[in-house]
């Protein structure tokens, strides 16, 4: 079956695979690495536009390593899972300092870099250098689980070991880069999570799940756990020019390193302004609450609007705070939900107290 599986997949890839993705046009280990990081938790269509902008600004690993983290996060804004961008930046700096600006071609050395796991390392080596290493991203897990009717959730250690063994078995010695792209393409375009296009699948004759009519059962889903609901009160404070006060969050944790409106806890905006800014703030009608989903919890944000009419003498110029003007935005990393909150300040639901920023 091993030879038949790879041969059928490669024949299909030659006819139907994706050959003109942005990271394929000029193949390199650096471009492959950035694309693989972006494609974690992100659809190809979304990642493609981000990738091209990212490469225009950071065409080399040296350019990425030398850039401020804020600018990296700015170009990542909207992709989510921002730890990927922070790890990419840290890894680029280590590649420059420890590997002379070249990504190592050793699997273990690659995996030692921040944000690069076994599958990502294997993809880089296979597609950039033609080295035979299996991969096991979400698409590949789904394909192999169906073809071999592997029971259980792939996040379980025993199931993952079984899938890695199958990935190793099926990976050919030749055309390994094409095979790696082919099996990812198959999972993304035909062997979809819902409504798989089995009639068009090049390995349908080898697929145990199809023979049994049980495609929807493989792979087994993650055991469902209720996601707790958390609450946050964010202060959307604007100065006389209409700029919004943002605070840089700690590097670790939710939205690490990104810029967000300050969270107030149970404090009201007036007392917060006196305590933190040393200035009076004028409360305005709040915006509608916003829900935002994370992997392990839901966040409900209550956006509180306020105005600062004078100066803020206690606002320390330590880099922790910035007045952000959406009309001429600085290159800062903002979570997508924060961008929506700022845009809503001048939206149709902002209320009569809101005026346009100059």
Residues forming the active site: 36
Measured N-to-C along each axis, helices 176-189 and 118-129 cross at an angle, to the nearest 10 degrees, of: 120
Q: Are 140 and 184 in contact (CB under 8 A)?
A: yes
**What is the rounded CA–CA span in Å between residue 283 and residue 224?**
41
Residues whose CB is less than 8 angstroms from the CB of residue 88 and which lie 6 or more positions away in sequence, other chains included = 34, 37, 64, 72, 114, 115
d(CA 358, CA 65): 36
| Element (DSSP H or E) covering residue 87 | helix 83-99
> Which of 33, 29, 35 shows the shortest CA–CA distance to 47?
35
Is residue 53 within 8 A of residue 76, CB to CB? The reply is: no
What gap in Å lies between CA 143 and CA 184, rounded to an integer? 9
CB 214 within 8 A of CB 146: no
Any residues with CB less than 8 A from the CB of 317 and at least 6 apart, and which? Answer: none
């Amino acid at each position: 079956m091993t030879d038949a599986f790879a041969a059928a997949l490669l024949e299909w890839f030659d006819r139907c695979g994706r050959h003109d993705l942005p990271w394929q046009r000029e193949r390199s280990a650096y471009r492959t690495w950035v694309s693989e990081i972006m494609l974690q938790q992100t659809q190809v269509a979304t990642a493609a536009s981000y990738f091209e902008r990212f490469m225009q600004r950071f065409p080399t690993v040296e350019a990425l390593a030398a850039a401020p983290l804020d600018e990296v996060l700015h170009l990542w804004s909207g992709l989510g899972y921002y730890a990927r961008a922070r790890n990419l930046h840290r890894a680029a700096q280590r590649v420059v300092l420890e590997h002379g600006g070249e990504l190592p071609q050793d699997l273990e050395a690659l995996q030692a870099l921040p944000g690069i796991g076994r599958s990502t390392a294997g993809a880089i080596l296979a597609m950039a250098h033609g080295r035979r290493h299996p991969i096991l991203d979400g698409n590949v897990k789904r394909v192999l689980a169906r073809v071999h009717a592997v029971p259980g959730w792939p996040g379980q250690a025993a199931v993952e070991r079984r899938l890695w063994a199958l990935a190793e078995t099926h990976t050919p010695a030749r055309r390994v880069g094409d095979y790696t792209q082919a099996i990812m393409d198959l999972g993304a375009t035909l062997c979809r999570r819902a409504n798989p296009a089995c009639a068009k699948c090049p390995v349908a004759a080898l697929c145990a799940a199809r023979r049994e009519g049980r495609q929807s059962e493989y792979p087994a889903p993650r055991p469902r756990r209720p996601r707790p609901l958390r609450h946050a009160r964010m202060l959307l404070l604007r100065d006389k020019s209409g700029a919004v006060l943002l605070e840089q969050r700690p590097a670790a944790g939710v939205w690490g390193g990104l810029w967000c409106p300050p969270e107030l806890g149970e404090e009201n905006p007036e007392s917060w302004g006196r305590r933190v800014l040393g200035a009076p703030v004028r409360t305005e009608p709040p915006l509608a609450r916003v829900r935002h989903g994370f992997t392990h919890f839901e966040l409900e944000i209550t956006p509180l609007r306020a105005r600062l009419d004078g100066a803020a003498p206690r606002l320390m110029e330590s880099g922790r705070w910035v007045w952000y003007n959406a009309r001429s935005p600085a290159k800062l990393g903002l979570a997508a939900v924060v961008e929506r909150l700022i845009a809503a300040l001048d939206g149709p639901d902002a209320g009569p107290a809101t005026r346009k920023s100059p």
